[in-house]
Each structure stands twice: as C-alpha cells, then as structure tokens.
Structure 1
Amino acid sequence: MLYSTVKFIVKIFYKLRFKINVVGENNIPKDGPVLLTSNHSSLYDPPLVAIFSNREMSFFAKSELFKYPVFGQLIRRLNAIPVNRGKGDRAALKTSVDAVKDGRMLLIFPEGGRNLTGKLKPLQEGASFIAMKSRAKIVPVAIKGSYNRKEGITLVYGKPIDVDALVEEGKKRKEITEILENRLKNMLKTPVILDKRDKI
C-alpha cells in the first residue's frame, strides 16, 4: 500500500515536471526474479525506472540509513535493501543474490555509478553474476534525453535476456556482460519511433 501511494505521488511529480516517453514496459516479466539494468546519469533515474515499471522494484540503500528508526522503516517498506559498503563488493553481491532469489525485481546500474560523459562506460560484471546465481532474467533499460520540458526523457525497457539459456550454451559471466553491454549500446544509439501510447 505504501509503495503504491509513494509511486503514485512521485509519478504525478514527474509528469508535471518533465516531458516523458515510455516504451516497452510490457517487456518486464510479470513475476519471478528480474534485474533491471540501466545506464545512469542523473539522480532522477532510479525513481523514473520505478514509477513506470509494472511491478514493485527493490533498490539498494546504505546500511547506515536504516539506523534512523522512522526513516529506516520507511525505506524498508519501500523495498530498500541494506548494503554495508564497508564489507566490500562480495557482501553487496551476496545480499543482491539472496534478494533476487526471493522473486524480487532489483534495479542495478552496471556502470558502477553515475556517468556524465554521455557514452556508456564498460559494464561491471556484478549484474551477470547476480543473474547467474539467482536465475534472474536481465531487462536492459535505456534512459535517453534530458530531464526538462523541451527535449524530454525517453525511457526504454528492452527485451529480457534469458541468462539461463545463455549459461546452457556455455556462456560465462564476461560474455553475458558483453551481451548486455552491446544491447544497451544499441538501445541508446537507436532512434525510438514513438506512437501516441508512448507519450505520458
């Protein structure tokens, strides 16, 4: 209930504040473990991906934030997953795998953080690792444009990558990461043809 309410409020804000087009939201599997993997250039990106997804999304938050009783309880109810950065990447990856195994949908920015260059950076292998361990499908997400009322933002949810099938073909983590990287690059550089249903 809380997640839906907050999502509704944030969606209204985004619609009023920005020009937004959304394409391919039906590409997100309706159930089962899913990783949303997106390029990332703005603090507005995580809520954008969440409010136009057709199911609830989990995300990472620093474990220190959960020490504040009211705020910690709030973000936990909004599906935040605590990550202790002091324990290094392995601890974060294990937390991710356990969460996705429960059938959650988790947002990851595989570039490793915000990227202001305008070009996709080489992806880290964490998303592929989590998908292989949790048997999750990877949905590539491309965020294109600018957060304004003139050019606007186009949010594209791509076709899911069936990691299980790739593993059966003998693909390794590095190869799966390369497939994801190529998919995202193509989505970012390919012009999107919009119809009336895509305009928000």
Structure 2
Amino acid sequence: MEKENYHHGALKEELIKNGLLLLNSEGVENFSLRKVATMCGVSHAAPYKHFKNKEEMLSAISHRVNQDFREYLEQVVVIHPGLDGMITMGKAYVRYMITNKEAYQFMFLSELKLSLRLEDDKFIYNEDSPFVPFYKAAYANLGPMFPNSKQLNMVILNMWSQVHGLASLIVNGIVEYNQDIEELVERMLTSTCLKQ
C-alpha cells in the first residue's frame, strides 16, 4: 500500500532519488522497479504509474542527474562571466561533486556513465554529457586568451582534469583536505592559466 504522505509528483521524485541510490549500490543488472518501490515503501505496482519499464526509469534517473548538475553549473556561469567565471566554475564543480556523491558516482562510475572522445585535439561528446557545461563555460571565458583552438582545448582538458581529479580524490576519501577547498581550486586553476 502506498504511503499516504506522497502527494502528486512526490512519489516520482522519491522513486528517482531512491533509484539513483539503488543503481549506485547494485548496478544496472540488479536494478528493478520492485526494489525501488520497496525502498519508497510503496506497492510494487506504484512505479508503473510513472514509468513503463526499467529502461524508462533508468533514462529518467540519467536525465535528472545530468540536468541538475548542468543547471547548477550554468547558474554559476551566468553570474560570473570572464576568467573569474572559469575559476568560479571550477569551484562549483568540486563543491557539487563533494556534496552530491551519488550524482558523482552515477555520472562517472556507473555502467550508464557518459563519455567523451578527444580526436585530433577536438572534443567529441554527447550533448547530455556532464562535461558540456564546463566545456562551454571554459570556451567562452578562455577563448579570447587562446585563439588557437587546439591549444585552448588542451587548456580546458588540463583544467577539467584538475578539478575533476581533485573532486574524485576527495569524494573517494583518498585525499583529506581540511582547509578551504575553494581556495585550493583557485590556486590550481590560476597556476594552469599562467603557465600557458
């Protein structure tokens, strides 16, 4: 029986939220709507009011995770244009990954992760990739500094590797840093730009 406190639309959000947790803990192969329903405390039939099947729910989870991340980063870009905007973007990227570990795990470690290719120093990616907002902001902010597109793409790859690498190390408990993380990101990215 469904919980009485689920209002219209609230169950769908709860299914997506718990679906993400289940996906990260058990993987795609062991994922099922029945297990998600149990996590939400609803009947096994309840998820089918929102999703036709497992694939549709996985698609909804993927869309939600990437949309939330993109919107978070895009808000930062609008507020902080210019080179400072790139540094602000890097700080926001690390902050988001550290505070949204489930999203990080899904985007970069799950079987459904979205990838990109580097071909002839050009990025080839799906528009849904979590790399897109970072890339677009970097291109807009750093483009005037690096008119050579190949050099610019290497700078962007370097900066993304730095912020993503730092976020990964912290999220996975490999590095402990008890000081100001954002100040560290700023120093890392500033030194990258100055070296180019």
TM beyond 0.5: no
Q: TM-score, normalization: structure 2?
A: 0.30
Q: Considering fraction of residues, name the structure with more strand.
A: 1
Q: What TM-score does the superposition give when structure 1 sets the normalisation length?
A: 0.30
Which structure is higher in RCO with an 8 Å CA cutoff and minimum separation 6?
1
More helix by proportion, 1 or 2?
2
